[in-house]
Amino acid sequence: MGASPVQERIQAIERADSHQSLTQAVWALAADPEEAAIPTLIEVLGYNNPGAAVAAVEGLVRLGEAAVPSLLAQLDGYDYGARAWAIRALARIGDPRALAVLLEAAGSDFALSVRRAAATGLGHLHWSQLAERERERAQLRALGVLLGVAQDPEWVVRYAAIAGLQALATAQPQLRRQAIAQCARLEASDSDAAVRARAALAREQLQPGSK
């Protein structure tokens, strides 16, 4: 009996002998992924091959909630490159089971690529999957962390915190006032023009009366 299509595609990844053939093989697996592909896709995040990692994240995002338990269980504490891709996949899937991991990573991971991905993800969780009281608590915690992350020393993390704040306050209008105030502060005083511009955009779009 021959190997199943998904097994064949996993074997193609193991056989790949160049960056490009690996990337192609991962795209083939990620195009129409099955749950059996999850461990392989997560492993690819640690290969230090950005092209292949982009493809693996795409595959994991397509699998959605089914990939969340493995992503949470296999977060790599030693390889920050792999961790950043995994957090990015969790952020894009938006499953609220990732909340605790995202809160922790956004506020205190030493790697800026991890903090950046987590901050963005905190804005984009699927809040409706939580019961009402739990939702309010979770959103308040996300707000608190994002207000802090908006003062990160790295420009790209502050930029991501603004994007996260904007998404969070769009989902929960009660948090708008604080998000707008933080954006106005960054708009007035941030050292980086790109951060000031992103803060201005978020403030304008959150302002009552804007779409």
Partner 1 sequence: MVEQAPLTAERAIANLQQQDDLGLRYYAAWWLGRCQIARPAAVKALIAALDDELDRSPDGGYPLRRNAARALGKLGDRQAVPALIACLDASDYYVREAAAQSLEALGDARCVPALLQLLEGGLEAAQPVPGKPHLVQPYEAVLEALGTLQADEAIPYIRPFLDCSVAKVQYAAARALYQLTGEADYGERLVSALQADALPLRRAALMDLGAIGYRPAAEAIAQAPAENSLKLVALKGLLEHQLAAPAPEGDSQQLMALMDSLL
Q: Smaller CB distance to partner 1: residue 92 or 135?
A: 92
The CA dihedral of 130, 135, 138, 141, to the nearest 10 degrees, is 170
Q: Smaller CB distance to partner 1: residue 117 or 125?
A: 117
- Joined tokens for residue 27: 């795209």
The contact mask relative to partner 1 for 114-143 (x = CB under 8 A, - = no) is: --xx-xx-----------------------
Tell me the HSE value of 124 on the side-chain side, using a 13 A CA sphere: 18
CA angle 120, 127, 165 (to 5 degrees): 35
Considering only residues 2 to 61 of the shown chain, the ones binding partner 1 according to CB under 8 A are: 19-20, 23, 49-51, 54
Q: 91-112 burial by CB neighbour count: b if 16+ within 10 A, else e?
A: bbbbbbebbebbbebbbebeeb
Q: How far is the CB of 133 from partner 1 (least distance, A)?
A: 30
Instruction: Please state, in angstroms and rounded to a whole number, the distance separating the CA atoms of residues 42 and 89.
Output: 10
Residue 193 binds partner 1 (CB under 8 A) = yes
Q: How far is the CB of 141 from partner 1 (least distance, A)?
A: 20
Instruction: Please state, in angstroms and rounded to a whole number, the distance separating the CA atoms of residues 50 and 95.
Output: 24
- Joined tokens for residue 162: 């603004």
Q: Which of 61, 98, 105, 163 binds partner 1 (CB under 8 A)?
A: 163
Q: 202 Cβ partners below 8 Å, 6+ apart?
A: 162, 163, 165, 166, 179, 183
Residue 207 binds partner 1 (CB under 8 A) = no
Q: Smaller CB distance to partner 1: residue 126 or 137?
A: 126
Instruction: Tell me which stretch binds partner 1 (CB under 8 A): 33-41, 60-68, 174-182, 197-205.
Output: 197-205
Q: How far is the CB of 88 from partner 1 (least distance, A)?
A: 8
Q: By CB under 8 A, name the binding residues for partner 1.
A: 19-20, 23, 49-51, 54, 81, 88, 112-113, 116-117, 119-120, 155-156, 159-160, 163, 192-194, 197-198, 201
